[in-house]
Structure 1
Amino acid sequence: MTVSITDVARAAGVSASTVSRALRGRPGVSEEVRAQITAVAAQLGYIASQSASSLASGRTFTIGVVVPYVGRWFFGTVLDAAEQVFSAAGYDVLLYNLGSPEARKRFFTKLPVRKRVDAVLSLLIPEAEEAAALRSLGVPLATTVGGPLPGFTVVGIDDRAGAESAVRHLVNLGHRRIGMISGTSGPLHWTTPIDRRQAYLDVLADAGIEHDPALEADGDYTVQGGERAMIELLAASRPPTAVFAQSDEMAMGALRALRRHRLKVPEDVSVVGFDDHELADVMGLTTIAQPVAGEGAEAARLLLRQLDEPDAEPSRHVQMPLRFVLRETTAPPNPRGPQ
């Protein structure tokens, strides 16, 4: 005969929901009661089932995750870190990849997550109507992209500060012809390329360096795009002596283009990236390190905290630290080259 959660609750003299919280390590149960319930469950041979726990707690023990590009390094890293936190807490992940306008429209029109998830982690920046639709679910919401968003817990970084550090490093080395590889064709309403570009312009202005539009190119936040963008910059009448790439993947593409043009890094051209990709150290790439996995894990923890402590005031904006990492791809400009 199968032992149910109700049988354990009756034998322990507690409610079924208390049994569920105790066996899942949830707060609100004293250690003495938790130990008693664990002992009773073991004695009766009870094996917790997802459906029984859901009925007892009113939860689905599922977290919805919405991503624009599941195959991109940044989003994949955030997703992997968040999933590990959710899994350790006994939650499953229901993934929605909204990589096309059609998929995105269909998702926000039908909202298939309704009554299927206990919380939502969004890795895309929703439009006003989309954000309102997610808030209508009545579940905790979090994101790791964009700025403050009403009703959402936002875990992110100061994009401007990071980009300023990268460009200022090149200025301090003595570079005056500083190019930038950006990603203007990123996800809808993605503010990252805008903020990082503004930082680039601000540092140039502070240094008295006139902005040259010919030293900007779109790298699409991919290695291939970064390579194309670097080739475009090298075709300028006065090519850059240094380049700030808004992501390490684009920086890696730039390094490949420079190598194919028989140019040395950093002797001929300096390159600095952003992210501290897992391959950045292997390539000796100077970069701005952001804790991408840490952002995903922190967002997941904050969502679980809201589920466990529904009456507590949720964190609305958490800013993660940035770190400048000096490696081998930056140096003062070559005195024999263009200045």
Structure 2
Amino acid sequence: MDSELPRELTLADIARIAGVGLGTASRALSGMPNVSPATRQKVLDVAKKHAYVVSPDASRLKKGSTGRVAVVAPHLSRWFFGAILEGIESVLRESQFDVLLYHVGNLEDRTSFFERLPARRKVDAVIVVGFPVEEAERRSLELMLGVQVVAAGGQHEVYPHVCIDDLRAGGQAMGHLLGLGHKRVAMIEAIDPDQPRQPSGRSRAYHLALADAGIKPDPSLVVTTDWGGEEGASAMAQLLSASELPTAVYAHSDEVAFGAMRTIRDAGLRIPEDISIIGIDDHPHAALLHLTTIRQDARLQGVLTAQMLLGLLRHEEDTALSVTVDTQLVVRRTTAAPRPA
């Protein structure tokens, strides 16, 4: 009889009431695999009815882990990073992992974080979001024996990672503009000045597309700036100061494109009649502004990264070590064929 049970139930009590084995009850309450949905729900219902709570310290001690994951990101306010973090957190929360968020906004922050990380030794894993790990940082991570490292939102040759193919995304953007008949295409190349400069697939896509189309590159049509709307607006002003205007602009991100659109319209020019523009991301505001773009699912990248990490921590043999999320061209109202000369 339930009334004869001790006031503080043990895991064995929960297993007996639910009619399952002790190991099955433990896996069900810990969010581990190899438990049917019906059995898991049955165990959870019993635990809830009797106000049974798994002791985090006991559970982590049994697993030989901390139950914590460090997520390292260079930006928190930008849409892309926020969406990835949301996806990561949603999966890890369901598996009862705590997320420790570390903001490394500049090179000094990054250096400090990676130098102190091995001494902390208080996480099971590190997820690096949106930036490549440098050699010195990699050495610091390798000092943390047993700590899994996964990269989200960027190609990474060293660690398991989830990303889009930037070269493909840039090729889709340029293919759309060139397919419409544009020959004088400008590029607003975005880089992060607080992060080490790395070769960009989005930039390589621009030059490869021009070469494939037999178009001689014009250095005056490439402006390099930071990721952001105001930066995009300033870069577009520089492009409009040229003696011959571009007929189309390829921006490395939608936020950069938003700023460029403002500058084009402030100059009395029409989009797309005078200048076409395309971005990458499918930012939540892109549809509102009718921006043609290359869609990437940032939240999905976060979800897949967290799922990959859990598979690695559980030593699941079928865990993929490299996942590339597809991108799609979304045509709206900011691109059209160039006007006849």
Aligned-partner residue type, residue 88 of structure 1: E
Task: Give the match for residue 206 of structure 2.
Answer: 200
Cα displacement (A) at 1:311: 5.2
- Segments of 5+ residues of structure 1 without an aligned counterpart are none
The C-alpha deviation readout for 1:97-141, integer Å capped at 9, x for no partner, is: 111222111111110684322222111211122123223322222
More displaced 10-residue stretch of structure 1: 310-319 or 228-237: 310-319
2:184 matches 1:177? yes
The C-alpha deviation readout for 1:60-100, integer Å capped at 9, x for no partner, is: 22211001112222111111111111112222210011112
Choose which of 233, 240, 264 in structure 2 pairs with 1:234.
240
Contact 2:171 2:206 in 1 (8 A): yes
* Inter-partner Cα distance in structure 2 for 1:184 and 1:44: 55
**Closer, same or farther in 2 for the Cα pair 1:14/1:281, shift >3 Å?**
closer
Task: Give the match for residue 156 of structure 1.
Answer: 163
Aligned-partner residue type, residue 181 of structure 1: I
Choose which of 168, 173, 188 in structure 1 pairs with 2:175.
168
The C-alpha deviation readout for 1:120-164, integer Å capped at 9, x for no partner, is: 2111211122123223322222112433423x2111111111111
Choose which of 259, 262, 266 in structure 2 pairs with 1:256.
262
Task: Give the match for residue 141 of structure 1.
Answer: 149
The C-alpha deviation readout for 1:197-255, integer Å capped at 9, x for no partner, is: 11101111121211111111123110010000000000011121110001000000000
Cα displacement (A) at 1:285: 0.5
More displaced 10-residue stretch of structure 1: 23-32 or 12-21: 12-21
Task: Give the match for residue 79 of structure 1.
Answer: 85
Cα displacement (A) at 1:10: 9.4
* Inter-partner Cα distance in structure 1 for 2:191 and 2:41: 56
The C-alpha deviation readout for 1:38-61, integer Å capped at 9, x for no partner, is: 687567642223223222322322
Structure 1 residue matching 2:242: 3-state secondary structure: coil
Contact 1:181 1:243 in 2 (8 A): yes
Contact 1:11 1:40 in 2 (8 A): no
The C-alpha deviation readout for 1:10-62, integer Å capped at 9, x for no partner, is: 97899987654231231255789868866875676422232232223223222
Task: Give the match for residue 137 of structure 2.
Answer: 130
* Inter-partner Cα distance in structure 1 for 2:157 and 2:73: 17
Task: Give the match for residue 30 of structure 2.
Answer: 24
2:290 matches 1:284? yes
Cα displacement (A) at 1:264: 0.6
Aligned pairs, number: 333
More displaced 10-residue stretch of structure 1: 154-163 or 140-149: 140-149
* Inter-partner Cα distance in structure 2 for 1:190 and 1:285: 28
* Inter-partner Cα distance in structure 1 for 2:290 and 2:119: 43
TM (normalized to structure 2)? Answer: 0.87
Structure 1 residue matching 2:84: 3-state secondary structure: helix
Task: Give the match for residue 333 of structure 2.
Answer: 328
Task: Give the match for residue 247 of structure 1.
Answer: 253
Choose which of 302, 309, 334 in structure 2 pairs with 1:296.
302
Choose which of 276, 280, 288 in structure 2 pairs with 1:270.
276
TM (normalized to structure 1)? Answer: 0.88
**Correspondence 1:113-124 to 2 at 5 A:** 114-123=120-129, 124=131
* Inter-partner Cα distance in structure 1 for 2:40 and 2:105: 44
Task: Give the match for residue 46 of structure 1.
Answer: 52
Choose which of 51, 55, 62 in structure 1 pairs with 2:61.
55
Task: Give the match for residue 3 of structure 2.
Answer: none
Choose which of 312, 327, 331 in structure 1 pairs with 2:317.
312
**Closer, same or farther in 2 for the Cα pair 1:229/1:167, shift >3 Å?**
same
Contact 2:69 2:125 in 1 (8 A): yes
* Inter-partner Cα distance in structure 1 for 2:132 and 2:27: 34
**Closer, same or farther in 2 for the Cα pair 1:243/1:250, shift >3 Å?**
same
Contact 1:153 1:314 in 2 (8 A): no
More displaced 10-residue stretch of structure 1: 164-173 or 130-139: 130-139
**Closer, same or farther in 2 for the Cα pair 1:144/1:38, shift >3 Å?**
closer
The C-alpha deviation readout for 1:302-327, integer Å capped at 9, x for no partner, is: 1112223x152542211111101111
More displaced 10-residue stretch of structure 1: 86-95 or 322-331: 86-95
* Inter-partner Cα distance in structure 1 for 2:22 and 2:63: 8
* Inter-partner Cα distance in structure 2 for 1:241 and 1:95: 43
